[in-house]
């Protein structure tokens, strides 16, 4: 049998390939992995990644904004039954009334009715019935505090028949009979009353004065 030159070349190439495969196994540490020829020399032999010991890099802290504080709402206590006190508005009073509430009211005798008095004085403090000599009701007296504060109290007497104002009784804070004499004179008719009191009735003006034993004025009667 004759060997052709081409067959000899093929046998030689096969032997070379076998030797290269053995060399690749020894370089790979005996792992048995065979790399194809196209990847040979593409990577370095040692490609292991080594991580050195040490603390990990700190993560940046992110501060979140604080939530908004809700407004505080006051809640009424259902068990709190205390009344809410409110100051009553001060009424607008006539200038003449501000100067002397008693003399101002005296000029309205025969003109004012009870609703008129309410518009100036407000609610009465109390009331009482007036009777005649036959013990028959002929009027009603309403007591008011003085809005100006000049007098302690003012009483208004309204006739039952007409419903109009007929008498004004004034109770001063502090007034003496001597004060009345200086202001109105001494043209009076005096009458002794019970409990040592004296009733002075002016003859030249519509004023009666009731005085106690010490000379203090108890009340003024204006008609």
Q: What is the pLDDT of residues 55-83, one digit of tens each?
A: 555 665 656 666 677 666 655 565 555 55
Model confidence over 163-215: pLDDT tens digits? 999 999 999 999 999 999 999 999 999 999 999 999 999 999 999 999 999 99
The stretches of the chain forming alpha helices (DSSP H) are 5-27, 95-99, 101-106, 114-121, 177-184
Residue 87 has pLDDT above 70, yes or no: no
Residue 78 is given by DSSP the state T
Q: Regarding predicted confidence, which is higher, 16 or 156?
A: 156
| Separation between Cα atoms, residue 144 and residue 126, nearest integer Å | 8
What value, to the nearest 5°, has the Cα angle with vertex 110 and ends 107 and 114? Answer: 95
Q: Which of the pair, 34 or 94, is modelled with greater confidence?
A: 94
pLDDT band at 54 (very low <50, low <70, confident <90, very high): low
Q: Is the pLDDT of residue 127 over 60?
A: yes
Q: How many CB atoms lie within 10 A of CB 184?
A: 15
Residue 79 neighbours by CB under 8 Å, 6+ apart: none
| C-alpha–C-alpha distance, residues 66 and 166, integer Å | 77
**What is the Cα–Cα distance from 195 to 210, expressed in whole angstroms?**
12
pLDDT, average across residues 28-38: 50
Per-residue model confidence (pLDDT) at position 69: 72
Q: pLDDT value at position 167?
A: 98
Helix then strand then coil, % of the chain, to nearest 5: 25, 25, 50
Decide: 147 and 129 in contact? Cβ < 8 Å: no
- 3-class DSSP state for residue 193? coil
Look over the chain and give the mean of its residue pLDDT values, rounded to a whole number. Answer: 79
pLDDT number for residue 22: 46
pLDDT in tens, 103-116: 999 999 999 999 99
Compute the average pLDDT of residues 117-141. Answer: 94
| Residue 52 predicted with pLDDT over 60 | no
How many whole angstroms separate alpha carbon 81 and alpha carbon 203?
58
- Asked if the model's pLDDT at residue 85 lies above 90, the reply is no
Would you say the pTM of this structure is higher than 0.85?
no
Reported confidence tier of residue 220, pLDDT bands at 50, 70, 90: very high
- Per residue in 151-176, pLDDT (tens digit) is 999 999 999 999 999 999 999 999 99
């Amino acid at each position: 049998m004759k060997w052709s030159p081409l067959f000899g070349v093929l046998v030689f190439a096969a032997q070379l390939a076998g030797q290269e495969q053995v060399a690749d196994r020894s370089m790979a540490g005996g792992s048995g992995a065979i790399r194809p020829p196209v990847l040979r020399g593409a990577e370095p032999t040692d490609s292991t990644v080594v991580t050195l010991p040490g603390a990990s890099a700190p993560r940046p802290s992110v501060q979140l904004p604080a939530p908004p504080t809700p407004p505080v709402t006051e809640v009424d206590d259902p068990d709190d039954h205390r009344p809410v006190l409110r100051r009553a508005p001060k009424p607008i009073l006539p200038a003449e009334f501000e100067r002397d509430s008693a003399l101002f009211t005296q000029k309205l005798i025969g003109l004012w009715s009870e609703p008129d008095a309410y518009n100036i004085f407000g609610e009465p403090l109390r009331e009482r019935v007036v009777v005649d000599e036959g013990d028959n009701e002929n009027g009603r007296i309403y007591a008011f505090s003085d809005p100006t504060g000049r007098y302690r109290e003012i009483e208004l007497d309204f006739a039952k028949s007409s419903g109009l104002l007929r008498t004004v009784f004034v109770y001063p804070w502090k007034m003496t009979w001597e004060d009345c004499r200086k202001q109105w004179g001494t043209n009076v008719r005096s009458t002794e009353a019970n409990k040592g009191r004296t009733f002075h009735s002016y003859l030249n003006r519509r004023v009666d004065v009731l005085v106690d034993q010490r000379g203090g004025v108890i009340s003024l009667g204006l008609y």
